[in-house]
Amino acid sequence: MSRRVLVIGADGASPELIFAWANGGLLPAFRGLMEKGVRGRLTSTVPPHSGPAWISAITGKNPGKHGVFYFTTVNPRRAPPRIVSSRDIRTETMFDVAGRNGKRSIVVNVPITYPPWKINGVMVSGMFTPSKDVVFTSPPEVGPELVAKGYEVEFSTWDTWKENRRLVSKDEPPDELSRIRRDYFNGTLATDEKTVNAFIGLLQDKDWDLAMVMIPGLDRVQHFLWQPMAPGEAHPAAKEFGCSRFVIEAYQNVDRLVKKILSVVDSDVWVVFLSDHGFGPTPRIFYVNRWLRSQGLLTPAKQGSIYKRGLKKLRRFSQGIGGKPTDESVPAMHNLLPLSSIDMYLTKAYSPTPYGLVDVNVDTPEGRRVLAGSLANRFEEIVDARSGKRVIRRAYLSSEIYPGPCQEEASDLVLEPEPDYHVENRVDGTEAFADATTHPALHKPEGVLFVSGPQSREGLELQSAHIYDVAPTILTILGVPLPKDIDGKTLAMAFRPDGPIAMEETKRGETRAESKEISDRVKRLKDEGKF
Q: From the CB of 91, what's the least distance to Zn ion, in Å?
A: 20
Q: Where are the alpha helices (DSSP H) in 206-299?
A: 217-225, 245-262, 288-294
Quickly list H helices, 319-408: 329-333, 365-381, 398-401
Q: Which is nearer to Zn ion, 112 or 269 (CB)?
A: 112
Alpha carbons 408 and 55: distance in angstroms, whole number: 18
Q: Which is nearer to Zn ion, 108 or 298 (CB)?
A: 108
Give the residue closest to Zn ion by C-beta: 50
Q: Which residue's CB is nearer to Zn ion, number 255 or number 276?
A: 276
Q: Which DSSP symbol is given to 336?
A: P
Phi-psi region of 123 (alpha: psi -120 to 50; beta: other; left: phi over 0): beta
How many angstroms separate the CA atoms of 397 and 407, rounded?
Answer: 10
Distance in angstroms (rounded) separating the CA atoms of residues 156 and 146: 20
Nearest to 408 by CA among 77, 59, 99: 77
C-beta of 277: minimal distance to Zn ion in Å?
5
Give least dist CB 457 to Zn ion, A: 28
List C-alpha distances in Å: 322 to 59, 129, 184, 423. Answer: 28, 9, 19, 28
Please choose, out of 45-53, 320-328, 406-414, 513-521, the segment that lies near Zn ion by the rule CB under 5 A.
Answer: 45-53
Distance CA 480, CA 209 (A): 11
From the CB of 236, what's the least distance to Zn ion, in Å?
Answer: 28
Minimum CB separation from Zn ion for residue 445, in Å?
A: 12
* Residue pair 11/275 in contact by the 8 Å Cβ criterion: yes
Binding range to Zn ion, per CB under 5 A, among 5-13, 33-41, 413-421, 429-437: 5-13
Rounded Cα distance, 337 and 382, in Å: 22
Scanning 59-67, 272-280, 308-316, 507-515 for contacts with Zn ion by CB under 5 A, the matching segment is 272-280
Residues 291-330, one symbol each (x = binds Zn ion by CB under 5 A, - = not), give: ----------------------------------------
> Which of residues 110 and 462 has its CB atom nearest to Zn ion in the complex?
110
Pick from 428, 378, 316: nearest CA to 81: 316
- Quick one: which segment of 198-206, 213-221, 351-359, 368-376 binds Zn ion (CB under 5 A)? 213-221
368 to each of 284, 293, 358, 416, how far by Cα in Å? 30, 18, 12, 20
In the complex, minimum distance from the CB of residue 389 to Zn ion, in angstroms, rounded to a whole number: 27
Nearer to Zn ion, 219 or 233 (CB): 219
**Binding map of Zn ion across residues 167-206, x = CB under 5 A, - = no contact:** ----------------------------------------
Cα–Cα distance, 214 to 204 (Å, whole number) = 18
CA distances, 45 to each of 16, 63, 401 (Å): 18, 8, 9
- State which residue, 209 or 276, has the beta carbon closest to Zn ion: 276
Minimum distance of Zn ion from residue 16's CB (angstroms): 16
Please report how close the Cβ of residue 127 comes to Zn ion at its closest, in angstroms: 9
Instruction: Count the alpha carbons within 13 Å of 376 in the hemisphere toward its beta carbon.
Output: 17
Shortest spacing between CB 126 and Zn ion, in angstroms = 12
Type of residue at 49:
H
Backbone angles phi, psi at 155, to 5 degrees: -140, 145
From 37-45, 46-54, 317-325, 358-366, span contacting Zn ion (CB under 5 A): 46-54
Asked if 276 interacts with Zn ion (CB under 5 A), we say: yes
Q: Which stretch binds Zn ion (CB under 5 A): 215-223, 246-254, 468-476, 507-515?
A: 215-223
Verify binding: residue 11, Zn ion, rule CB under 5 A.
Answer: yes
Q: For residues 237 and 22, is the Cβ–Cβ distance under 8 A?
A: no
Helix axes 217-225, 245-262, angle to 10 degrees: 170
Backbone angles phi, psi at 483, to 5 degrees: -60, 145
Binding to Zn ion (CB under 5 A) within 219-238 occurs at 219
State in angstroms the smallest separation of the CB of 423 from Zn ion: 16
Residue 67 or 445 with smaller CB distance to Zn ion: 445
Preceding omega of 174 cis (within 30 degrees of 0): no
The Cα diameter of the chain in Å comes to 85
Residue 469 DSSP symbol: G
**Closer residue to Zn ion, CB minimum distance, 13 or 371:** 13
Find the shortest distance in angstroms from Cβ 50 to Zn ion.
Answer: 3
Stretch that binds Zn ion, among 214-222, 232-240, 333-341, 389-397 (CB under 5 A): 214-222
Pairing between β-strand 210-215 and β-strand 121-125 as defined by DSSP bridges: unpaired
* Binding status of residue 487 toward Zn ion by CB under 5 A: no
Number of residues that bind Zn ion (CB under 5 A): 5
Residue selected from 14, 44, 45, 50 as contacting Zn ion according to rule CB under 5 A: 50
Q: Which is nearer to Zn ion, 116 or 447 (CB)?
A: 447
Beta strands in 89-163 (DSSP E): 105-110, 121-125, 137-138
* Closer by beta carbon to Zn ion, 143 or else 216: 216
Closest CB to Zn ion among residues 277, 293 = 277
Specify the residue, 10 or 123, whose C-beta has the smaller distance to Zn ion. Answer: 10
Rounded Cα distance between 82 and 69, Å, is 12
Backbone torsion region of residue 359, taken as left when φ is above 0, otherwise alpha when ψ lies between -120 and 50, otherwise beta? beta
Query: Does 424 interact with Zn ion (rule: CB under 5 A)?
Result: no
Least distance in Å: CB of 403 to Zn ion? 24
Asked whether position 156 contacts Zn ion by CB under 5 A, the answer is no
Mapped onto helix, strand or coil, the DSSP state of residue 44 is coil
Shortest reach from residue 196's CB to Zn ion, in Å: 17
Q: Which is nearer to Zn ion, 276 or 446 (CB)?
A: 276
Contacts with Zn ion, residue ranges (CB under 5 A):
11-12, 50, 219, 276
